Amino acid sequence: MAKKKSPRIARPAAAPDEVAAAYHRTEKDIEALPKDQVGRVNADVPTAVSLALGALPAIESLRGALEAALKHPPLAEIARLQDRALAALYAHLHHAPKVTVNEADLEEARVQRERLLASADAHVAHGQLDRDAIAAVREGQGHLDRANDLIALAALFRGVWSELEGHTQVTEAQLDRATILGTTLVAALGAKELGTGPATGGTSWSDRRNRAFRLLMNDYDEIRWAVEYVRRHEEDAASYAPPLYLNQRSRPRKPDETDAQREEGGGSLVGNG
C-alpha cells in the first residue's frame, strides 16, 4: 500500500470577483438541474471547495493519461471544475446566515492560523505535509485570506489525520474550531465583498446552494472515478483527487456499474431530501 500523501489545498474565496463571475457562468446549469436530482448539502462547502481547487492542477496533469486509458475521459468536467467549485461557494455565501465580525474573532483566527502553521512546519520536516501548500498559506494577507487559510489548513491536516493522530500537537477539537471559525469569517467577509442579497426569480439561495453543490459533486465524482482507474496500480489516486468530504468512501467504479448503483454506494456529499 502506497503511503498516503497530504491533499493539495487552495484558498476557497480569495478573489470574490472571480467567485461571482464563476457563478454567473454556471447559473443556467444550476437552474436547469432537475429537481429530483438536487438533494441537499450535508458537508462544509468552503472546505470542499478548498480541496477541489487545490486538486485541480494535479488532476490536469493527468489529462494525457486519462485520454489514453479511457474511451470517455472527463475532460469537460475537468475544464469546468473551477467554475463549479466557485459557483457552489458563491451560493453558499449567499445562503449562510449573516453574522457580524468582531475583533475577538479576527484575533482568534490570527492565533489559530499561527498555531496550525507552527505544527504544520514540524510535519513538513518529517514529510507528512506538503511543503509548497504550507508556503502558499503563508503568502496570505488580510482577514479574508486568514479565514480561508484556517479552512485550508484544517482540510490539509484532516487529509492525513489517520497518520498524524496521536503524533501531533494538533487536536481534532482545534481542527473543528478552525473550520467553523474560518467558514463563519469567510461567510461574513466574503458576503460583504460580494454584496450578497436576496435571491431573485422565485428560487431561494438554499435551493441554489444545493443545486450548485450537486453540480460540483457530479463532475468531481466523474473525475475521481477516472483518476482512480488510471492510478489504480500506483494506489495514489487520492493524492490527485481527494474526497471532498474526508469521510467519503473511496472505491473504483466497477466496469458494469450503473450511475444509480454508484450513487447508492459511493458515499456522496449530498443526501436526498
- pLDDT tens, position by position, 69-78: 999 999 999 9
HSE-CB at 182 with a 13 A cutoff on CA atoms is 30
Q: What angle do CA 91, 93, 99 make, to 5 degrees?
A: 150
pLDDT at 125 over 70: yes
Q: 107-134: buried (b, 16+ CB within 10 Å) or exposed (e) per residue?
A: ebbeebbeebeebbeebbeeebbbeebb
Q: How far apart are CA 70 and CA 72, in angstroms?
A: 5
Highest averaged pLDDT of the listed ranges 66-80, 147-161, 243-257 = 66-80
Contact 208, 91 (CB under 8 A): yes
| Residue entry with cell 451560493 | 91
Neighbouring-strand partners of residue 31: none
The distance of Cα 241 from the centroid of its chain, to the nearest Å, equals: 11
Confidence band for 259, pLDDT divided at 50, 70 and 90 = very low
Lowest mean pLDDT among 100-114, 117-131, 252-266: 252-266
Residue 182 confidence (pLDDT): 87
